[in-house]
């Protein structure tokens, strides 16, 4: 900035004036920043992030994930010879003994319809889906696995029609120790499945028998094992790792 110097102001006066202005500017800026900061942290939070910031993150997530994983954008599939053994990782909600005979999937449909208790046989009435994809844990490892099950999409049309209109799906273990919330667009992705087979065999307990979520557009944390209950909602449901500060969407 080239302010023409007033012939009436000495360099000292000018400096004093500038400094005062500088301080004023700084003061107003700081007050605004502190005010803004207090306002931000007084806002409702989600996953430890104030909602206004959360909304920016979510808008980013929607943008990038929409671009990468729209309906036409499938996670890459692999030939059988690439299949690897996947470790069992994370056992929250898997501690209680499981009786496969008495296990039921409790489904609370969207807005009012009567809840249902489904068996694995009910789910197996849907078209079978199999594919081999890379399973990625947020901790930095990944494995190529062949998964078998049914499309979540097909499950909704058959057992919770209309629930596609909900914004989110909540999935919990029977003991409610582990729980995830997933946006509906990702749940309706054609590769998102309710899974009961791994590498051609029935799913083992440590990997989530009798039924787990496999959702290749998300990191492992969202791929909940031993699902006991599914609920639909318009608000983001509680999510185990989002509560610990991880990104709610956890998309790839």
Among 123, 156, 224, 242, binds ligand MTE (CB under 6 A): 224
Among 221, 230, 242, 250, binds ligand MTE (CB under 6 A): 221
Closer of 153 and 212 to Mo ion (Cβ): 212
Binding to Mo ion by CB under 5 A, coded x per residue (else -) over 194-233, reads --------------------------x-------------
Residues contacting ligand MTE: total by CB under 6 A: 19
Instruction: Decide if 170 contacts 237 (C-beta within 8 A).
Output: yes
User: Could you say whether residue 226 binds ligand MTE (CB under 6 A)?
Assistant: yes
- What is the 3 state secondary structure string of the chain? CCCCCCCCCCHHHHHHHHHHHHHHHHHHHHHHHHHHHHHHHHCCEECCEEHHHHHHHHHHHHHHHHHHCCCCCCCCECCHHHCCCCCCCCCCCCCCCCCCCCCCEEEECCCCCCCEEECHHHHHCCCEEEEEEEEECCCCCEEEEEEEEEEHHHHHHHHCCCHHHCCEEEEECCCCCCEEEEEHHHHCCCCCEEEEEECCEECCHHHCCCCEEECCCECHHHCCCCCCEEEEECCCCCCHHHHCCCCCCCEC
User: Could you say whether residue 137 binds Mo ion (CB under 5 A)?
Assistant: yes
Closer of 109 and 216 to Mo ion (Cβ): 216
Closer of 54 and 218 to Mo ion (Cβ): 218
Closer of 92 and 103 to ligand MTE (Cβ): 92
Angle at Cα 239 formed by Cα 120 and Cα 72, nearest 5°? 70
Angle at Cα 155 formed by Cα 94 and Cα 130, nearest 5°? 75
User: Could you say whether residue 176 binds ligand MTE (CB under 6 A)?
Assistant: no
Binding to ligand MTE by CB under 6 A, coded x per residue (else -) over 49-68, reads --------------------
Q: Which does 229 bind (CB under 5 to 8 A by kind): Mo ion, ligand MTE, none?
A: none
User: Could you say whether residue 243 binds ligand MTE (CB under 6 A)?
Assistant: no
Among 151, 153, 189, 207, binds ligand MTE (CB under 6 A): 207
Binding to ligand MTE by CB under 6 A, coded x per residue (else -) over 151-170, reads --------------------
Least gap, CB of 142 to ligand MTE (angstroms): 9
Q: Which two tokens stand for residue 229?
A: 């209950």
Among 9, 27, 73, 91, binds ligand MTE (CB under 6 A): 91
Residues lying near ligand MTE in the complex (CB under 6 A) are found at 86-94, 137, 173, 178, 207, 220-221, 223-226
């Amino acid at each position: 900035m080239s302010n023409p110097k007033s012939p009436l102001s000495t360099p000292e006066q000018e400096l004093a004036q500038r400094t005062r202005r500088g301080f004023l500017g700084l003061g107003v800026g700081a007050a605004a920043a502190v005010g803004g900061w207090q306002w931000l942290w007084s806002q409702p939070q989600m996953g430890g992030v104030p909602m206004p910031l959360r909304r920016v993150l979510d808008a980013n997530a929607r943008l990038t994930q929409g671009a990468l994983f729209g309906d036409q954008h499938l996670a890459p599939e692999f030939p059988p010879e690439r299949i690897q053994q996947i470790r069992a990782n994370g056992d929250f909600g898997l501690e209680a003994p499981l009786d496969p005979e008495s296990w039921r999937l409790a489904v609370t449909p969207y807005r009012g319809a009567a809840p249902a208790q489904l068996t694995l046989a009910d789910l197996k009435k849907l078209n079978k889906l199999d594919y081999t994809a890379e399973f990625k844990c947020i901790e930095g490892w990944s494995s190529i696995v062949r998964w078998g099950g049914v499309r979540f999409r097909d499950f909704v049309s058959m057992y919770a029609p209309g629930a596609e209109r909900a914004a989110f799906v909540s999935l919990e273990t029977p003991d409610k120790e582990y729980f995830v919330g997933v946006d509906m667009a990702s749940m309706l992705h054609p590769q998102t499945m309710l899974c009961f087979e791994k590498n051609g065999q029935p799913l083992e307990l440590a990997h989530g028998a009798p039924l787990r979520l496999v959702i290749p557009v998300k990191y492992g944390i969202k791929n909940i094992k031993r699902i006991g209950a599914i609920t639909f909602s318009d608000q983001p449901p509680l999510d185990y790792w989002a509560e610990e500060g991880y990104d709610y969407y956890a998309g790839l």
